[in-house]
Each structure stands twice: as C-alpha cells, then as structure tokens.
C-alpha cells in the first residue's frame, strides 16, 4: 500500500476497513507507563515475539462503475487506475504464526473477499497463502502459507482469563503499512461486549497504540504469550486514541481449532431472545432478579421450546457459572458443542428459583427470534439469540 493510499484510508475509517475498525467516538484513555515489571523485560519479550507476527497483503477484483468508485480507497499508483474495466482493491493487515508448519491466525476482515494473499515473513520475503477457514461472526480467520518456508517461530498461547486490570501488554503489527512495530500499554478493561463491532464480543481493552494495519496482529503479555488478536479501535480520526480492542485467546483458540479442523465454526444454539437485566430495568419492568439474562422470546422451533424455560425467566447461571449479562450467556452457549445438554439456573416470573436442562442445537444461519413481551425493553436491548 502506498503512503498516499494509506493516509486516505486512515482518514476515511468508518467501521471495519480491512486495516482496523472504528467505533463511536469516546474519551481518550491515558497511556500508562508502569514503574514495576514483574515478568520479562520489554526488550527481551519484544525481540522474542516480533518475528512471530507477519504482514498480510490482500487484493481482489472490484467491478468498475460509479457505484464501486470510492475516492478514499482508490489508489492512483495502482495498476489500471483511471482505465475502464475492473480494478484490484488492495489492503494490508497483520497475522500471528501459530504453528511451525505455517498456519496464521488473523482477522476475518483482513482476508475478506481476497483472491490473492501475500504474507511477508521475518526474512523479508513474500509467500503465498490460502484461507483455511473464516468466522466473520467473531472476526477470525486462519490462513496457510504455501511453498518452501524458512524456520518459523509460532507464538505460545497464554491464558487470557488470567489477565488482570493494569497488566502490561505489547501490541505487535503493521500500523499504516510502515512495517512491524511494537507498542506498549496496559489492560484497560476485560469482557467488553455490546460494542456493535462483531456478533460475538468479549474484548480485551488496551491503551497500547493500535492503528489501521494492526488488525490481526498480536497482543502479548510479558511472558511473551499470545493473549489477544488486535481487531478494532475507538477513534474520531481513525487513528490511535488510547482505546483498542483485542479478541481474547480463550475465545480465539477454540474457534481457530474448529476452522483448522472443519473450515467453519459450529455454534451451540438454544433459541431464545435475551436482554441484560439491570436493577433499574428490573424495577421498571417488575422482573424477578436484579442481574442476569432475561428470556424475552423463545423460538418455537428451537431447543428451548422443548425445555421448561419460559418467557420472563431470568437466567442467572449456566453449568454452575454465574451469568450477569446477556452477552456472557450468548458467548458461552455459542462456544458449547451442539448436542450438549446444559444446566441453567433461572429465576421464574413468580420469583422462585429453578433448574432447567436443555439440549443445544446448532446455530442456524438466520438467528433472529421474535420477542413477544416487554416491548419497551425489547426496543432498548433486543439482541440476537444464542
């Protein structure tokens, strides 16, 4: 990508742009410089992991015509610019080497629609790659390098659930196409959902500098372990504003394994429409619990309809783990294998507690359930069902 193309692309960021994501604007977080580091030194970690992150360049044919022309993303230095006929759209991103055989984990939007993928490794050479599987609902993809490869250094997966607020992290990627870069920050928040970036969200928020081009790159801890895949930013300008988001490895790894094995992701499906219960909503709608996931609708064709679950119930636990929000319930069910029987703890409309067993089906392509109750609540919080 030329410097001009990159600059124009950054200036026009709206949503996912193949080099990162922009959200609604928000305040800029302060960039923290820790005074005490308890793990490896930053230079040691950076030098150890940087060769495990790659640059990814993709291209695909775009049909010519007024509807397809976008002045912000048209590269005047690309072949065929200004000529009639189809053109090739090009974009850049990052990826993480996860196996010595050349498998790379990245964002789905980095390789979306690509018919040509080039990966630049630590030796400076470009290698062709093919897509093994894509999961757009979580914005993850796995690609495989082709040909004779140099010795590769896959990153070790860490436990993203063990992260604590304030932990120092490093973000590695190819921001603005300038080349691989390492930035440092802290874990600003965990479990960020409801951002409207992806269908399934459980983001790590960090103030490590993340910019367009970092998409698909690594977020690592001071042990040099991969704990997140950088995927989005919140920014007015499209550049670094101190709020970046990464998909945690505890979510990314099982999705990656399914993509490698099956080329797709099969998600558990209960067939309910849900909304997060808060104390204010509970008071306003006379709900039987202060926290949890409200069952606001049940698919008559779904697994939940074969259980004792009812509209108005509030789910407060799944398989013994507390459920505080609808996002947690949705993400947890989605990661359970279809055909599995789950145990739900619910508070019924009359205030009594009960246990519900349900056998999960497989998530259908169209996963919307009409909710037939609490119209004001549905308007505020209606979500896609798990």
Q: Give 317: exposed, middle or buried? Use CB within 10 Å, 0-12, 13-18, 19+.
A: middle
User: In which residue are the tokens 């367009």 written?
Assistant: 212
| Tally: H helices and E strands in the chain | 7, 21
If 0-12 CB within 10 Å is exposed, 13-18 middle and 19+ buried, where does residue 379 land? Answer: exposed
pLDDT at 179: 87
Q: Which residues are identified as catalytic?
A: 109, 139, 215
Block mean pLDDT (10 aa), the chain, length 386: 30 32 36 47 94 93 55 37 60 94 96 92 94 95 96 96 96 91 96 86 94 94 97 84 94 96 94 94 90 94 94 96 94 95 95 95 69 43 41
pLDDT in tens, 39-55: 668 999 999 999 999 99
The strand pair at 272-277 and 103-106 is best described as: unpaired
pTM, 2 dp? 0.78
Interacting residues of 58 by C-beta distance below 8 A, sequence separation 6+ = 18, 90, 91, 92, 93, 110, 111, 114, 116, 117, 118
Please report the pLDDT score of residue 366 as a whole number.
Answer: 61
Q: What is the pLDDT of residue 35?
A: 38
User: Domains in the chain, start-ordered, CATH in brackets?
Assistant: 268-381 (2.30.42.10)
- C-alpha closest to that of 56 among 10, 7, 102, 8: 102
The reported pLDDT for the residue numbered 38 is: 52
Query: Could you tell me the sign of the dihedral formed by the alpha carbons of 198, 366, 255, 109, in that order?
Result: negative
Alpha helices in the chain (DSSP H): 3-11, 42-49, 108-111, 249-262, 279-285, 326-334, 375-381
Task: Write down the pLDDT at residue 234.
Answer: 87
Reduced to 3 states (helix: H, G, I; strand: E, B; else coil), residue 9 is helix
**Local structure of residue 62 (DSSP, 8 states):** E
């Amino acid at each position: 990508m030329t410097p001009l193309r990159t600059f124009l692309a950054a200036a026009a960021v709206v949503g996912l742009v193949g080099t990162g994501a922009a959200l609604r604007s928000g305040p800029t977080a302060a960039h923290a410089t820790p005074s005490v580091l308890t793990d490896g030194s930053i230079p040691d970690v950076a030098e150890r992991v940087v060769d495990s992150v790659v640059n990814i360049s993709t291209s695909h044919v775009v049909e010519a015509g007024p509807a397809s022309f976008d002045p912000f993303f048209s590269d005047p230095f690309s072949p065929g610019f200004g000529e009639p006929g189809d053109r090739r759209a090009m974009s850049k991103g990052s990826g993480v080497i996860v196996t010595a055989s050349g498998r790379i984990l990245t964002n789905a939007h980095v390789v979306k629609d690509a018919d040509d993928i080039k990966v630049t490794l630590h030796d400076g050479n470009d290698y062709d790659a093919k897509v093994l599987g894509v999961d757009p609902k979580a914005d993850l993809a796995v690609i495989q390098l082709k040909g004779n490869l140099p010795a590769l250094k896959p990153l070790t997966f860490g436990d993203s659930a063990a992260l604590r607020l304030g932990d120092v992290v490093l973000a590695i990627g190819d921001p603005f196409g300038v080349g691989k870069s390492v930035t440092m920050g802290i874990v600003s928040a965990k479990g960020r959902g409801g951002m409207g970036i992806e269908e399934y969200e459980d983001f790590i928020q960090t103030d490590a500098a993340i910019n367009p081009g970092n998409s698909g790159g690594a977020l690592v801890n001071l042990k040099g372990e991969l704990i997140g895949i950088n995927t989005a930013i919140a920014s007015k300008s499209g550049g670094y504003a101190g709020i970046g988001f990464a998909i945690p490895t505890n979510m990314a790894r099982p999705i990656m394994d399914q993509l490698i094995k099956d080329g797709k992701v099969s998600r558990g499906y209960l067939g309910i429409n849900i909304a997060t219960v808060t104390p204010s909503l509970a008071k306003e709608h006379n709900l039987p619990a202060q926290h949890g996931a409200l069952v606001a609708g049940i698919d008559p064709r779904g697994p939940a309809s074969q259980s004792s679950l009812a509209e108005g119930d509030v789910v407060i636990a799944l398989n013994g783990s507390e459920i505080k929000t609808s996002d947690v319930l949705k993400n947890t069910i989605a990661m359970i294998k279809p055909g599995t029987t789950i145990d739900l703890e619910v508070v019924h409309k009359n205030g009594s507690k009960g246990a519900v067993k349900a056998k999960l089906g497989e998530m259908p392509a169209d996963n919307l359930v009409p909710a037939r109750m609490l119209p004001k609540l549905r308007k505020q919080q209606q979500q896609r069902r798990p």
